[in-house]
Amino acid sequence: MAVTVPPEKTAVDRPPRRTARRSRRRPLLLNVLALVAGVLVWALVAALGLIENLPTPLAVSRKAGEMVADGTLAADTLASLRRVFLGYALGVVVAVPVGFLMGWYPSVRAVVEPYIQFFRTIPPLALIPLTVVLLGIGEVPKIAVIYLASFMACVVSSFQGVVDVDRTLINAARVLGASDRVIFTKVVIPASTPFILVGMRIGLGASWATVVAAELIGAQEGLGYQMQKASTWFEMDTIFVSLITIGVLGLLMDRLLLLAERRLTGWQERR
Partner 1 sequence: MNSKISFRDVVKTFPLKGTEFTALDGVSLDIADQEFVTVVGPSGCGKSTLMSMAAGLQEPTGGRVLVDGAEVEGPGPDRGVIFQQYALFPWLTVRQNVEFGLKLASVPAEERRRRTDLAIGLVGLEEFADALPKTLSGGMKQRCAIARAYAVDPQVLLMDEPFGALDALTRVQLQDQLLATWSREKRTVLFITHDVDEAVYLASRVVVMAARPGRIHRVVGVDLPYPRTEEIRLSAEFRQIRNTVWTSVYHQEQAAPAV
178 touches partner 1 (CB under 8 A): yes
Interaction mask 192-221, partner 1, x per CB under 8 A: -x----------------------------
User: Interior CA angle at 124 toward 121 and 129, to 5°?
Assistant: 120
Interface residue with partner 1, options 73, 128, 146, 187 (CB under 8 A): 187
Interface residue with partner 1, options 1, 48, 51, 133 (CB under 8 A): 1
184 touches partner 1 (CB under 8 A): no
Computed from CA positions of residues 153, 159, 163, 169, in that sequence, does the dihedral angle turn out positive or negative?
positive
Cβ 178 to partner 1 shortest distance, Å: 6
Return the number of the residue (23 or 168) whose C-beta is nearest partner 1: 168
Residue 172: closest CA among 162, 182, 161: 182
CA separation (Å) from 63 to 223, 236, 240, 250? Answer: 14, 10, 9, 21
Residue 208: closest CA among 132, 125, 137: 125
231 touches partner 1 (CB under 8 A): no
Interface residue with partner 1, options 133, 177, 252, 263 (CB under 8 A): 177
The piece of 62-70, 184-192, 224-232, 245-253 that touches partner 1 (CB under 8 A) is 184-192
Distance CA 233, CA 170 (A): 61
Residues touching partner 1, count (CB under 8 A): 24
The piece of 60-68, 91-99, 162-170, 242-250 that touches partner 1 (CB under 8 A) is 162-170
Interface residue with partner 1, options 19, 117, 231, 268 (CB under 8 A): 268
Instruction: Return the axis-axis angle of helices 72-104 and 139-163, rounded to nearest 10°.
Output: 40
Q: HSE-up of 178 (CA within 13 Å, CB side)?
A: 17
166 touches partner 1 (CB under 8 A): yes
Q: Are 91 and 149 in contact (CB under 8 A)?
A: yes
Interaction mask 2-41, partner 1, x per CB under 8 A: xx-x------------------------------------
Burial grade of 156 (CB within 10 A; 0-12, 13-18, 19 or more): buried
Cβ 19 to partner 1 shortest distance, Å: 22
Computed from CA positions of residues 100, 106, 112, 116, in that sequence, does the dihedral angle turn out positive or negative?
positive
Binding stretches for partner 1 (CB under 8 A): 1-3, 5, 166, 168-169, 171-178, 182, 186-187, 190-191, 193, 267-269
